[in-house]
Structure 1
Amino acid sequence: MEALLALANWSTLLVCMVIKLPQVVAVLAARSARGVSPESLLLELSGFLVFLRYQSYYSYPLETYLEYPILIAQDVILLLFVLHYSCNMKQTLPYIVILKFVINKLQQWIFKMLLLIEQLI
């Protein structure tokens, strides 16, 4: 039973590692962000960050939410490509400011999370 749980956990992590890959590849291949909304990416990213912070605050085991840092990293990468290809710098600037603010506020917490992940591996 324990082996089955470990398999389910690692398979979930592997799927989460590539879940945004088709979108990233499509944006890069088209060299256009048409059809991908920065607002929806920010909303999804915000939800992931809130959930991750909630789980961390209440000291849930890292294994229960380890896929969220992976999803957040993929969302950030996709958001950066979308902002790069949007070519509207007036529209892009607020997103970059918000993203920088979020990263600055969570920087210490992100390093703590990375150290915990390193200890698990």
Structure 2
Amino acid sequence: MANLVILVANFSSLFFGFVLKLPQIYALYKKKDVAGMSFASTFLELFSYSIVMCYNIFNEFPIKNFAEYPVLVVQDMILIAMMLHYSKKFGITFFAFLGAYNAIVYAIAGGLMPKFVVTFLMACCTPLTALSKGAQLRAMWSTRQAQSISVLTWGIATYSCVCRLVTTVATTTDVPLITNFVVALFLNFAITVSAIYLQRQEKSKVS
């Protein structure tokens, strides 16, 4: 039974990880408005996903435990480019950032950095995750706008955290990873509930 639960959790994480940001990308494309969305949140989330990905690769953990993270990184990059485009800030700076980002990821995942540095970065991942989710919550509540926020994306993110908690506890019992998933779980849920509430408020005002 335990093996079946782990198998389902792994499959769910991989499947939903591959499509996690697609509803948000579509919602942004449809609205063409970044109101209620946070640049800081998306950038911090990108860094957090990247650290988890590199940490797993560095430690040679089973690829099934983190296979969705490279896809999530690409999806966040697309989302950032779209946000910059719709806010008329897209330019050469984005490509410079992309080049620097790739160099750093290669250095970490390729084993060019000492283990203690990689472990420290993973320890920083939980505060980064908290700051990322907190920035998104603040952006929504300060503007009281959430029409560009995809409830489906954040709901899937909440469920994925539950699945990753199961698989991580079952296969590695890695404390930094488990802590990161617990924090992300609660904050993803808070964003989901907040988005639903604010969207309903906006609809009631229109009607």
Runs of 4+ with >6 A deviation: none
RMSD between aligned alpha carbons? 2.5
In 2, the alpha carbon distance for the partners of 1:27 and 1:42 equals 16
Deviation at 1:87, TM superposition (A): 0.4
In 1, the alpha carbon distance for the partners of 2:59 and 2:102 equals 21
What is the aligned partner in structure 2 of residue 119 from structure 1? Answer: none
What is the aligned partner in structure 2 of residue 20 from structure 1? Answer: 21
In 2, the alpha carbon distance for the partners of 1:100 and 1:71 equals 18
What is the TM-score normalised by the length of structure 2?
0.45
What is the aligned residue count?
108
In 1, the alpha carbon distance for the partners of 2:25 and 2:102 equals 21
What is the aligned partner in structure 1 of residue 101 from structure 2? Answer: 102
In 1, the alpha carbon distance for the partners of 2:92 and 2:69 equals 26
What is the aligned partner in structure 2 of residue 40 from structure 1? Answer: 41
Give the AA of the match of 1:16: G
Deviation at 1:75, TM superposition (A): 0.8
Unaligned runs of 5+ residues in structure 2 are 111-207
Deviation at 1:94, TM superposition (A): 4.1
Point out the more displaced range, 71-80 or 99-108: 99-108
Larger radius of gyration: 2
Give the AA of the match of 2:63: L
What is the aligned partner in structure 2 of residue 56 from structure 1? Answer: 57
Deviation at 1:21, TM superposition (A): 1.7
What is the TM-score normalised by the length of structure 1?
0.73
Deviation at 1:28, TM superposition (A): 0.3
- Report % sequence identity: 30
- Check the 8 A contact 1:41/1:75 in 2, yes or no: yes
Output one character per residue of 1:13-44: Cα deviation in whole Å (capped at 9) or x when no partner. Answer: 11112221221111101122232222211100
Give the AA of the match of 2:34: A
In 1, the alpha carbon distance for the partners of 2:40 and 2:97 equals 12
Unaligned runs of 5+ residues in structure 1 are 111-121
1:85 paired to 2:86: yes
